Amino acid sequence: MRLAGPLRIVALIITMGLSWILVTILLGGPGGGLPRIQQFFTSETRKYKCGLPQPCPEEHLAFRMVSGAANVIGPKICLEDKMLMSSVKDNVGRGLNIALVNGVSGELLEARAFDMWAGASYYFFP
């Protein structure tokens, strides 16, 4: 019973100390402060085509290809901010995914998936 008073004081001191450390980390010190808090509330906007980290030079086509994960997530092929092949468009499959594109205009001519595991290599050999 007589121990409850000192335990409350110790708990109060620990709580105040942890609060002080948290405030110091978030609001003060080098590299800390308001920008660290603001990063939780700001969202980065995509600036460049196909989600590239930097812009492509003039007279070049922006291109990005993302590999899939086994047979769970299919690959994605993007050209000039247009998704050519993806699981959403349902034009990808297991194996080799190829998109035939006009190199001047960037127009998609044909997109196919070749299942090399099942022996679909007869498309490549006469």
pLDDT in tens, 47-61: 788 888 888 898 888
What's the confidence (pLDDT) of residue 16?
94
- Separation between Cα atoms, residue 50 and residue 46, nearest integer Å: 9
pLDDT at 108 over 70: yes
Tokens of 11: 């708990």
Of the pLDDT bands very low, low, confident and very high (cuts 50, 70, 90), residue 43 is: low
Structural contact between residues 59 and 103, judged by C-beta atoms closer than 8 angstroms:
no
Three-state DSSP state, 97: strand
Any alpha helices (H) in the chain, and if so which ranges? 4-27, 34-38
Q: What is the pLDDT of residue 42?
A: 67
